[in-house]
Structure 1
């Protein structure tokens, strides 16, 4: 089976029907990912079926039509190889997407993906979350902040919540320790202006591992003290 076959099969099992254009874009993304992965370290997962399920469908799993509008502003914090941001953009083309990452090599890769896939209203920003969230252009300017495989929730909340406007959402894609992380992250989330987190379990096609998306709605502005200077959230998490 080809990557396209695995992707279409996994999407159907997950309850998603992808258009022909979307399948072509995902396939091109996969090809570019493998090509660049030979030059810079982007992902340890390269087998077609695993990329289809563990990267592409997993990234889409955080989308919720009941919570998000079709044309919202989204920031992917610590996007790495573009997950979950780029799969979300392919899946929901009307979103306005900002990809934030601290490594310039990955920014170059992401710009190549954006150009080759023809993704409009998509931009990359090179920088650390703690610094970028101090920018007037970015602070509390997004309807949704998403992040995957970046940090544990108390740290991740400090990275992401300052970007979210009041009434917007922070969505964290988490692995098997999601319940423990949600408990650990409660104090940070409340301190940063968030409501109590809600957890939605995710079952990916043909996988036995436990995953979840933790959703937090922003109910008040993040205090000016946050985020703290670069490196501090990781060294001294709000627990």
Structure 2
């Protein structure tokens, strides 16, 4: 098992030690075990999990120098992607995992304990609520999200967490040109600026991926995010 993961990560320029490989394999085992009692992922075959969750989380290295990142928040983390793979591969990062479903948070806390990960905290709640709290607002070098939501909505969830000079990077799939066009006003109002969109295939697969890399250029207006539920129902246009 280690050989598959090791090879695929080397293909994107990441080399792990034996302890890190063990942590990824333990993570896989816990994911499959807990998936029997709750819906964490529809992908369960080892090689597919490696490609579509672990490698997919870590291809962030294609658009961002992760060594320069010290604080990261993963908004809508679900089963921990991309936050936990990033923490395993880059243990220097202080990671916050945010999700609105408490049973997923319980799973994540179990993973953190079993993998003996340090400086990882979990938050159960809505992104709109925590983004208004002083401890979290504009506190992170990087916000990431693989959540399935419109980019305008995601920007309102995520950009308020990012410090001035930091980054929000959205993981996207498929053709996103129309979505990019529709999110321009939201990104501008939220004090962001699109630096680049990086499109590529995951190595050895037919999976088409895009990263939208957004710089936080100044502090975000306290008007944002709007109250819980509004960013999803009424994206800024």
Q: Shorter-normalised TM-score: what interval?
A: over 0.9
Superposition deviation, residue 96 in structure 1: 0.3
Q: Deviations over 1:163-208 (max 9, x none)?
A: 0010000010110123332222221111100013411123212211
Question: In 2, Cα distance between the equivalents of 1:11 and 1:204?
Answer: 11
Superposition deviation, residue 160 in structure 1: 0.2
Contact 2:164 2:219 in 1 (8 A): yes
Which of 167, 172, 175 is residue 173 of structure 2 equivalent to? 175
SS at structure 2 position matched to 1:108: helix
Matched, 1:83 2:81: yes
Question: In 2, Cα distance between the equivalents of 1:9 and 1:180?
Answer: 35
Superposition deviation, residue 16 in structure 1: 2.4
Which of 198, 201, 218 is residue 199 of structure 2 equivalent to? 201
Aligned residue in 2 for 1:227: 225
Question: In 2, Cα distance between the equivalents of 1:40 and 1:101?
Answer: 15
Contact 1:61 1:202 in 2 (8 A): no
Q: Which consecutive residues of structure 1, in runs of 5 or more, have no partner in the other structure? A: none
Superposition deviation, residue 65 in structure 1: 7.9
Aligned residue in 2 for 1:187: 185
Question: In 2, Cα distance between the equivalents of 1:5 and 1:161?
Answer: 38
Aligned residue in 1 for 2:141: 143
SS at structure 1 position matched to 2:61: coil
Question: In 1, Cα distance between the equivalents of 2:234 and 2:125?
Answer: 21
- Give TM-score, length-normalised by structure 1: 0.94
Contact 2:101 2:125 in 1 (8 A): yes
Superposition deviation, residue 35 in structure 1: 0.5
Query: In the comparison of the two structures, how many residue pairs are matched?
Result: 237
123-132 or 56-65: bigger deviation: 56-65
- Give TM-score, length-normalised by structure 2: 0.95
Q: Which consecutive residues of structure 2, in runs of 5 or more, have no partner in the other structure? A: none
Question: In 2, Cα distance between the equivalents of 1:221 and 1:208?
Answer: 39
SS at structure 2 position matched to 1:62: helix
Which of 40, 63, 72 is residue 74 of structure 1 equivalent to? 72
Question: In 1, Cα distance between the equivalents of 2:220 and 2:65?
Answer: 21
199-208 or 104-113: bigger deviation: 199-208
Aligned residue in 2 for 1:23: 21
SS at structure 2 position matched to 1:195: strand
Matched, 1:218 2:216: yes
Aligned residue in 2 for 1:92: 90
RMSD: 1.5
Contact 2:69 2:141 in 1 (8 A): no
